[in-house]
Amino acid sequence: MIFRFREELQNGEDVDTALVETMRHAGRSVIVSGSTVAIGLVSMVILPVPVIRSIGIGGMLIPAVSVLTSITLLPALLAMLGHRINRLRVMPKRIVERQDPTTGFWHRWAVIVTRRPVPVAALGILIVALLLIPGVQLHAAESQLKDFPGKGDAIVGRTVLNRAGFSPGVMKPYVVLVEHSGPNATRKVVGALERTPGVAAAVAPPQWVRGGDALVEAFPTADSASNSSSKTISRIQHDVLPAVQATATLGGVSPEDRDFVHAVYGKFPYVLAFVILLTFVLLMRAFRSILLPLKAVVLNLVSLGAAYGIIVFIFQWGHGSDAIWGVPGTNAIISWIPLMIFAFLYGLSMDYEVFMLTRMREEYDETHDTVKAVELGLARTGKLVTSAALVLMFAFFVLSSSPGTDIKQFGIGLAAGIIFDATVIRTLLVPSLVRLFGRWNWWLPHPLARVLRVPPAPLRPATQSAAIADPTS
């Protein structure tokens, strides 16, 4: 909104007119983009995990309050500042006040994209494909104890136990609750567990008995987060405990984490469908188009997959994680990380799409020329998108200084995803694909427009300049 307000002032408008134009265009974009962020976060309420639901509801309040502030307090401040908004410049005047969209780096790049859309799109697709290869190999699970970084008594104790030949499983044992049963049932559970492949020992101290209930601890032969331990958990849940004539339930850190993964990612398709459907309808109304929101949703999912590829390459495969952050390759991404990256990154990435495409739509409505719409839209939003992405990238990158592996993965995943989206997706794929799709970008048939309660956008004939540049436009 500040970018647009200053641009209107630079074009000679008075303060009141500049503010009206800012609210009409940039204010509307802020509402739409904030709504997409909120949709991505509120989708977490679908998942059957209270803490995830709380994060979703709490996170939704952030864009809600931000949008409310932007459409109430910010316009009042802009009206008060008026032309004084350009005083006390930090950057040189030529950088701050230059608003001519036909000059500067972003216009030159936009011209390259419109003249060579196929090579530019091919380059973007190649980069995305290289990152999607590791992205589809993401393994969501808790880290093994040997991969936990840090210092202190806990780390020293882990090293001593390892050197003494103790299984890492003693630090995260399985816990079995035996209910409404006598001592014989508890002994049967202990014996059955000790005979189970993958279990080193099982114990049931007398102090862990209350009435007819008892706790039994089983120590796996491998780290509780390893693949072999996962098979042992399944064996205990489905074969061992049902065979014992007692009411026994498996618990403990690792079984709980495994149940968390199944509960969350089993419902994740519903979350994905909810987010895609709502953002598609919202953007179809905002852009007055069928193709633009479809492309926005697909590219956002592609951007998300690329962000997964980056954290897999760094942390799961271990390329640079130890040298930079002191974390060895974990062979897994902590189970809640992919989910939270999706919730935050999907909406934040859509922000840039909304800003860029809204401006392109505005330019097309004035000129009815796709080439000019891409050039002017990218030239006017390129600096805005880059600046916003840098702010978010550094904010998230700071999280990687945390000692916890999970926060490192979360911070790097968001930081890398934001900057990748703002560069590869928004400067390569979005403008080149809009240029290639030509007049089909701006089409919204009458029946859909009537349902969405927006003016229809008929399929216009190609302009002469566009037809000369590309007969298919």
**Which tens digit of pLDDT belongs to each residue from 23-73?**
998 898 899 989 988 998 899 999 888 988 999 999 899 999 999 999 999
Please check whether residues 330 and 471 belong to one and the same domain.
yes
Please check whether residues 285 and 396 belong to one and the same domain.
yes
Q: What angle do CA 337, 340, 342 make, to 5 degrees?
A: 110
> What is the per-residue pLDDT across 310-352, written as a single tens digit (0 to 9) for each?
999 999 888 888 888 877 777 888 888 999 899 888 888 888 8
Q: What is the 3-state secondary structure (H, E, C) of the chain?
A: CHHHHHHHHHCCCCHHHHHHHHHHHHHHHHHHHHHHHHHHHHHHHHCCCHHHHHHHHHHHHHHHHHHHHHHHHHHHHHHHHHHHHHCCCCCCHHHHCCCCCCCCHHHHHHHHHHHCHHHHHHHHHHHHHHHHHHHCCCCECCCCHHHCCCCCHHHHHHHHHHHCCCCHHHHCCEEEEEECCCHHHHHHHHHHHHCCCCEEEEECCHHHEECCEEEEEEEECCCCCCHHHHHHHHHHHHHHHHHCCCEEEEECHHHHHHHHHHHHHHHHHHHHHHHHHHHHHHHHHHHCCCHHHHHHHHHHHHHHHHHHHHHHHHHHCCCCHHHHHCCCCCCCECCCHHHHHHHHHHHHHHHHHHHHHHHHHHHHHHHCCHHHHHHHHHHHHHHHHHHHHHHHHHHHHHHHHCCCHHHHHHHHHHHHHHHHHHHHHHHHHHHHHHHHHHHHHHCECHHHHHHHCCCCECCCCCCHHHHHHCCCC
> What is the per-residue pLDDT across 65-102, written as a single tens digit (0 to 9) for each?
999 999 999 999 999 999 988 887 776 655 555 556 67
Please check whether residues 318 and 199 belong to one and the same domain.
no
Please check whether residues 319 and 270 belong to one and the same domain.
yes
Indicate whether 105 belongs to any domain.
Answer: no
Indicate whether 104 belongs to any domain.
Answer: no
Please check whether residues 179 and 161 belong to one and the same domain.
no
Handedness of CA 103, 108, 110, 116 (dihedral sign): positive
What span, in angstroms and rounded, lies between the C-alpha atoms of 299 and 351? Answer: 13
What pLDDT is recorded for position 352? 81
Please check whether residues 28 and 60 belong to one and the same domain.
yes
Domain that holds residue 202: 173-251
Please check whether residues 320 and 466 belong to one and the same domain.
yes
What pLDDT is recorded for position 466? 47
Indicate whether 110 belongs to any domain.
Answer: no
Which residues pair with residue 213 across a beta bridge? 210
Please check whether residues 178 and 241 belong to one and the same domain.
yes
Which residues pair with residue 333 across a beta bridge? 140
Give the number of domains in the chain: 3
Please check whether residues 127 and 186 belong to one and the same domain.
no
Provide the residue count of the chain: 473
Last residue of a domain, one of 251, 285, 312: 251
> What is the per-residue pLDDT across 233-281, written as a single tens digit (0 to 9) for each?
999 988 898 888 788 899 988 888 888 888 888 888 999 999 999 999 9
Q: What do you get for the CA distance between the two ends of the chain, in Å?
A: 32
Please check whether residues 307 and 441 belong to one and the same domain.
yes
Indicate whether 106 belongs to any domain.
Answer: no
What's 217's domain CATH number? 3.30.70.1320
What's 297's domain CATH number? 1.20.1640.10
Mean local confidence (pLDDT), 281-309 = 92
What pLDDT is recorded for position 346? 87
Last residue of a domain, one of 44, 64, 99: 99
Indicate whether 238 belongs to any domain.
Answer: yes
Mean local confidence (pLDDT), 383-399 = 89
What span, in angstroms and rounded, lies between the C-alpha atoms of 353 and 351? Answer: 5
